[in-house]
């Protein structure tokens, strides 16, 4: 069964209180999805950072052991380096047959837009948020 991945990138200039609200919103949204029978998995380390009012640590630091195990020459590309330095957080939902569009709209409606820099759904940029 394939999962849908949402990658949420908070704004670097977000205030601690805003990051806490974002963490609470993500946690609540995942709980709601579980309540309707979906399997929701969230990057707990990144969620804890948000709930503490901090940007998530870069992916490379959060998953240092996993990443070093799977190193290859391909992993040194610009995209891989950019991904590893990202302070975003992932949420995976399955089953994917529920509807990517519906889930993405639901997530978007649950997030405080002023705190979000970007959202990727299965690696594709979702239409940008309007906050400046």
For residue 5, list its beta bridge partners: 92
Q: Angle, to 10 degrees, between the axis of helix 16-35 and the axis of helix 100-110? A: 140
21-76: pLDDT as tens digits: 999 999 999 999 998 888 999 999 999 999 999 999 987 776 555 545 545 545 45
Domain 4-65+77-123: assigned CATH number: 3.30.70
The conformation of residue 88, written as its DSSP 8-state character, comes to: -
- Average per-residue pLDDT in the chain? 81
Domain map (residue ranges) of the chain = 4-65+77-123
């Amino acid at each position: 069964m394939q999962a849908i991945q949402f990658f949420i990138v908070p704004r670097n200039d977000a205030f601690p209180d805003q990051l806490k609200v974002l963490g609470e919103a993500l946690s609540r949204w995942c709980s709601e999805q579980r309540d309707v029978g979906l399997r929701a998995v969230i990057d707990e380390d990144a969620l804890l950072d948000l709930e503490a009012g901090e940007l998530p640590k870069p992916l490379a630091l959060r998953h240092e052991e996993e990443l070093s195990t799977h190193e290859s020459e391909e992993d040194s590309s610009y995209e891989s380096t950019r991904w590893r330095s990202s302070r975003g957080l992932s949420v995976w939902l399955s089953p994917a047959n529920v509807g990517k569009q519906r889930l993405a709209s639901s997530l978007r409606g649950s997030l405080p837009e002023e705190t979000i820099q970007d959202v990727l759904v299965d690696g594709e940029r979702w239409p940008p948020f309007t906050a400046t």
